[in-house]
Structure 1
């Protein structure tokens, strides 16, 4: 290298924070939440997203956990829905039955987080079996409260890795209904709300007027081909596909120093 040649790193913008794909999914999910909403929270990545939202743009977000804690403010990272830390600062602790009947089935939950082994083009989720129900290749944990959340929350969000086996054109078993076979299918069943967004490690997908998934934004450095190759049907893309906003420095500080300092879910 001569004296006139630039150093290899001179063109790198050091102001752009480094982040992992999980941190990007968490911050993207957090931005979907609005102040004054009630959200039925799960542990793991959804829990991080809700607590990040509450510490940033949604201070009045009311977090409700399946175990029955109402408006929780956990003082540390909960490791299960039965973790006593969830009662920290809660306005109430009710039986699980009341949480599901009065709050969820009563239409008092704005947002629910879901996940599953398979998600199809209409947002139906399978967490029951892979293969034939009577003779499955894999027996999965089942619904838990997922079917009730999918059926009764005013809107649902899904966070999941983007892999072709996770996104078949049709799920092997409908554990939690999305738009069934289109928006009219969900309406015919009399279900409240419906899925709003699916956030993966490649893209953010939403649902069109027919209730079918399309890619709205692609994460930095991700191509359309990468997303399509990880999807089991011909996926539609928005007319003007944009790049998913990245985590900012404060997002990353909160996640790494306050919400998950031991890297339980971020690593």
Structure 2
């Protein structure tokens, strides 16, 4: 019978990583299931000349806090030779190193990354999926490559059953760094106090079956057999080393909030209020597209304000909110800890959430945008010399029945004040989001038309739909000049609907939206 794991100090554990190893890292933004002590120790050891270099690092989504944590602990020249990631936005120093060509860098969709671990675990050749077709992940565009020194194609176009697919090949894993709440003496891991499961099990299985080393960080050690079987998220047969970090926090913002882990229900009346500003206007208008019983996904950014508006209005139980980290139900958190939810109904392993998304389970999604062009293409992944990455955006935007892109019309100093039923544009943003051509295609308008998706683009001053030839302006805010404040700020001509509707004045007041905006079957937004 296989013996139990070794219990080591963090420095001893990271010393087991060899130069040139391929290392999978679990976790998500804001410290969610992040093996923070292991990452910090690995970075420090390398900086002191005692850690391995030339590593290939693999992670599913953004890991960090945008302030030097997470993957930025490893942002040291020479530590990484190649990084394959689902998102880069939480680690700005790593992102800068990508643009400086300090290592090879790839960005694949978050769902692809999470599902690929299962393919590796099962000894299969890789992941075959439609996700990424027509986007920058397609090798006929960029193949997910992010800088000049990244030249090898890791994605292939194949044909099966007379249909095109993308093939993301599997690769071996030498080490993984994962996290749990507790480990018993036999190495069984629980996630009882965590706000998600992510793909801890899939990563551990993939590493174990690759002949690699599974290193788990936990908050505490339990007696052998004391963790109930249904609470074991990763069995001890998949765990080689356990590192205990008693100071482990649930998130960078919370030592522990039981409403995030499903062990306590919080009164929604005590959630932080969403002040009336230009961002709330966007979220309010977006809510109008939801119908009773819809299965909804929320993206990070302005889009996550949809949950706050729904909670304020008392509509949270009229539809099912989900987020890609595996949360179903509840009210998703906003900001750096996006990835957890208050009062979730279910906490699933992330790969299974993406199975549901990829197969068409979403009725509607609300996502952000950095750039939109006249054709209706959207970029969120690489712009203005910044590498942010796609996260779950490609999976979600490509497969939801209705897609609502949410964002301010411009960025960088925009000040648009909603009051008394109108919008006063006092200061225009310095950065235009509506561009002649997106720098990277994260969402393909052409593919969306082929799929028959309904696509809207909601801003604080105007609403657009995707038409047969590109953007169609359908609504404008009261107080906004259509020509000066909208059309003149979009490169090239776009279609304007006749008649052009005015956004409802209720969006621009402090009063509740009321029953006219309540989600309902076959109900459109108020005229």
TM-score by length of 1: 0.71
The 5-angstrom pairing of residues 108-257 of structure 1 reads 108-130=361-383, 138-163=385-410, 165-180=432-447, 183=449, 187=450, 192-208=451-467, 210-225=468-483, 226-246=485-505, 247=507, 249-251=511-513
Displacement of 1:71: 1.9
Distance in structure 1 (CA, Å) of the matches to 2:314 and 2:342: 21
Contact 1:64-1:70 within 8 A present in 2 as well: yes
d(CA) in 2 for partners of 1:168, 1:45? 20
Query: Which deviates further from its counterpart, 33-42 or 169-178?
Result: 169-178
Output the CA distance in 1 between the equivalents of 2:309 and 2:433: 27
Conserved? CA contact 1:151–1:193, under 8 Å: no
Q: Which residue of 2 aligns with 1:20?
A: 277
- C-alpha distance in structure 2 between counterparts of 1:211 and 1:56, whole Å: 38
* Alpha-carbon distance in structure 1 between the residues aligned to 2:280 and 2:309: 11
Q: Does 1:94 align with 2:356?
A: no
Offset at residue 44 of structure 1 (A): 4.0
**1:179–1:194 CA contact under 8 A, matched in 2:** no
Relative to structure 1, the CA distance from residue 222 to residue 242 in structure 2 (aligned partners, 3 Å threshold; closer, same or farther) is same
Residue 307 of structure 2 corresponds to which residue in structure 1? 50
The DSSP-based 3-state class of the residue aligned with 1:53 is helix
- Displacement, 1:57? 5.6
Provide closer, same or farther for how the CA distance between residues 97 and 68 of structure 1 changes in structure 2, counting only shifts above 3 A: same
Looking at structure 2, the residues matched to 67 and 109 of structure 1 have their Cα atoms a distance apart, in angstroms, of 15
The CA distance in 2 between the partners of 1:122 and 1:105, in whole Å, is 24
Question: 3-state SS of the aligned residue for 1:99?
Answer: helix
Looking at structure 1, the residues matched to 489 and 277 of structure 2 have their Cα atoms a distance apart, in angstroms, of 19
Answer yes or no: is the 8 Å Cα contact 1:36–1:58 preserved in 2.
no
Q: Deviations over 1:213-259 (max 9, x none)?
A: 1111110111111101221221221111121003251149xxxxxxx
The alpha-carbon deviation at position 161 of structure 1 amounts to 1.7
CA change 1:121–1:221 in 2 (3 A) is: same
- Shift, 1:145, TM fit: 0.9
In structure 2, how many angstroms separate the alpha carbons of the residues matched to 1:228 and 1:73?
A: 36
Task: Please list the CA deviations of residues 3-51 of structure 1 after superposition, one character each: whole Å capped at 9, or x if unmatched.
Answer: xxxxxxxxxxxxxxx9532222121111111111011112443222234
Superposition deviation, residue 109 in structure 1: 0.7
* Distance change (3 Å), C-alpha of 1:142 and 1:64: same
TM-score, with normalisation over the residues of structure 2? 0.38
Deviations 1:147-173 (A, max 9, x none): 111111111101112137311132122
For residues 168-223 of structure 1, give each alpha carbon's deviation from its aligned partner in whole angstroms, at most 9, with x where no partner exists.
Answer: 1321221222235x83xxx2xxxx45352111122011122x15211111101111
The structure number with the bigger radius of gyration is 2
CA distance in 1, matches of 2:350, 2:452: 22
CA shift in 2, pair 1:178/1:114, >3 Å: farther
Matched, 1:80 2:337: yes
Q: C-alpha separation between the residues in 2 aligned to 1:229 and 1:110? A: 34
Please, which of 320, 325, 346 is the counterpart of residue 62 of structure 1? 320
Q: 1:147 to 1:26 in 2, by over 3 A?
A: same
After TM superposition, give the deviation of residue 78 of structure 1 in Å.
6.8
The 8 Å contact of residues 204 and 217 in structure 1, kept in 2 or not, is answered as yes
Q: Does 1:30 align with 2:287?
A: yes
1:47, 1:212 → 2: CA distance?
Answer: 26
Structure 1 pair 62/211, CA: closer, same or farther in 2 (3 Å)?
A: farther
State whether residues 33 and 58 of structure 1, in contact with CA within 8 Å, keep that contact through their aligned partners in structure 2.
Answer: no
Equivalences, count: 215
Alpha-carbon RMSD: 2.6
What are the ranges of 5 or more consecutive residues in structure 1 without an aligned counterpart?
Answer: 1-17, 131-136, 253-267
Cα 1:77–1:175 shift into 2, 3 Å: closer
User: Residues 53-85 of structure 1: CA distance to partner in whole angstroms, max 9, x if unpaired?
Assistant: 3645674210001110112246x76752333xx
Secondary structure, aligned partner of 2:285:
helix
